[in-house]
Structure 1
Amino acid sequence: MFDGLQQKSSAKQAIYRSTVATFDLLRHVSQELVVELSRRITPVDSSVVIEYRPVNDMEFHIRFSGDLLVFVLHSNIVTFADDYGPMPTKYVQADFWRRFFGHIMAYNFMADSIKYQRFNDPGYLVGRLLINIDRHYFLEGVQQLELPDNDMSDSPVTDDSLRLFVESAMIAAVNNDLVAPPMSEIQKITVKQKLENQQVSRGSKLGFSFSHQQQPHNIDGLPY
């Protein structure tokens, strides 16, 4: 029992360290991308602002064109059902500890939702980056990302792979248009909505479609 607990604890810590290192690299790649895009677009249209915003050790934002991407490092280590994603591959099956992953989430919000503290506005999960004990990655996301299938055995984390993750998330967010509600839905406004600066006539995102839906489980096998 002691040996099992020790091995699992050591594995969890190793996977978490790999995920933290990946998140730090993702942060660096995002900063470089923002600088590059800003340098290219400012001479064309100085009113278009692209900026990187640090939040804390486990979160940072990229704001652009009315959109906000929120990148979050999750603190838990997860696993999946045997038939999900990379789980049935020979690479994962060859090593028990490759069945467990750290994960980084990318969410899309309207930038004004945060600016004006419209707490009821929805955000949408755009993509998820799974990191294993070898620091290899599996990238999954909404259909709009149009990401190529990746073989986890041949996918070590690199600057280029993380840049693809960020660029694809930005493109998906920009292409996810706002849709205004019909008049019949915004005829009334409450005093509470007015005092809380809720703009009931604002548009909402269309949302995204996922090619897979699966509830992850933590390393102990329970939903988190």
Structure 2
Amino acid sequence: MAKDPIEKNRAQLVDLLMHKSALKQDIADDSEKVFERLKTIIISEINELKKSITDPRIRLSYQDKGKFEIHAYVGSDVLVYNLHQNVFRLPDHNPLWGTAYFKQNQNNGYFSTIHIFNFLAESLLQNRMDDAGYLIGRLFLNHENHFLIEGKGTLGFMFRDPQNMVLSDEALQLIVQLSFAHALEFDLYIPPFEYLSEISVAQIQMMGESLKLQTAKRLGFKMKHEEESENY
């Protein structure tokens, strides 16, 4: 006699809940612990830098924004580290699925994500809502504490072997130092003259209050007018 389809469907649901949902929850729980370690390391690194930097004009501070976010102010920059509250699976077309580590256990392809954003410090401190920030890295962590990073500069090529990379406090410290360095090495460029050639009364009034003209660190992007001029 064929099995009752209702019971069969329920059994499949139970299996999904016991395995996939539990796996995702385990990853989420572990990533929260890792993020707490990351926050401790960020604070420690800032305190170590303070020992060598005596110039009071050089900003070195942090703001703990709760369970899932911390801001690190380094010079004229701020790094925003943010733990995403969801767990994601690698896309099917990702070449990592062709490696032995992911072939042997598909659970290895589920990751939590920590984003690293770079803003100008004044953008946050002065609440300049129109200012742009940039994603400079994102750390992926799976249920075996293996990790990889997609990112800019050294962050983008140093941590690309999740099969052999297990996240340690030393690795976290290196990630923090590299993200600090990346932000500091990329400067605010002078906006093209055309960018400021037209300005409204409202904008000039706001400039008098807190210089709220849109500002961004240029990390390999082009201003809209530059793209337009190249098309002629």
**TM value normalised by structure 1:** 0.84
Identify the residue that residue 53 of structure 2 maps to in structure 1: 41
Q: How many pairs are equivalent? A: 207
- In structure 1, C-alpha distance between the alignment counterparts of 2:167 and 2:72, rounded to whole Å: 21
Q: How does 1:25-174 map to 2 (within 5 A)?
A: 25-42=37-54, 45-84=55-94, 86-143=96-153, 145=155, 147-174=157-184
Matched residue SS, 2:197: coil
In structure 2, the CA distance between the partners of 1:61 and 1:149, relative to structure 1 (3 Å rule), is closer
Identity of paired residues, percent? 29
**Bigger Rg over Cα:** 2
Matched residue type, 1:80:
L
> Who is 2:22 aligned against?
10
Provide closer, same or farther for how the CA distance between residues 87 and 30 of structure 1 changes in structure 2, counting only shifts above 3 A.
Answer: farther
Partner SS, residue 71 of structure 1: strand
Q: CA distance change for structure 1 residues 29 and 167 in 2, over 3 Å: closer, same or farther?
A: same
Q: Which residue identity does 2:104 align to in structure 1?
A: A
Corresponding residue SS for 2:129: coil
Cα distance between partner residues in 2 of 1:21 and 1:85: 29
SS in 2 for 1:46: coil
Q: CA deviation at 1:52?
A: 1.7
Name the structure 2 match of 1:19: 31
Q: SS of the residue aligned with 1:128?
A: strand
User: Residue 178 of structure 1: SS of its match in structure 2?
Assistant: coil
Shift in alpha-carbon separation, 1:203–1:118, aligned structure 2, 3 A: closer
Offset of residue 62 of structure 1: 0.5
> Which blocks of at least 5 consecutive residues in structure 2 are unaligned?
1-11, 222-232
Matches within 5 A, 1:194-209: 194-195=205-206, 197=209, 199=211, 204-208=216-220
- Matched residues in 1 for 2:206 and 2:217: separation? 24
- Please state how far the C-alpha of 1:136 moved relative to its aligned partner: 1.5
Superimposed CA distance per residue, residues 73-112 of structure 1 (whole angstroms, 9 cap, x where no aligned partner): 0011111223426433211221121111001000000000
Unaligned runs of 5+ in 1: 210-224
User: Aligned partners of 2:119 and 2:36: how far apart in 1?
Assistant: 22
Distance 1:24 1:113, change over 3 A: same
For residue 226 of structure 2, what is the aligned residue in structure 1?
none
Q: Higher RCO, 1 or 2 (CA under 8 Å, sep at least 6)?
A: 1
Deviation at 1:21, TM superposition (A): 1.3
Q: Deviations over 1:9-39 (max 9, x none)?
A: 1011011012111111111111111110111
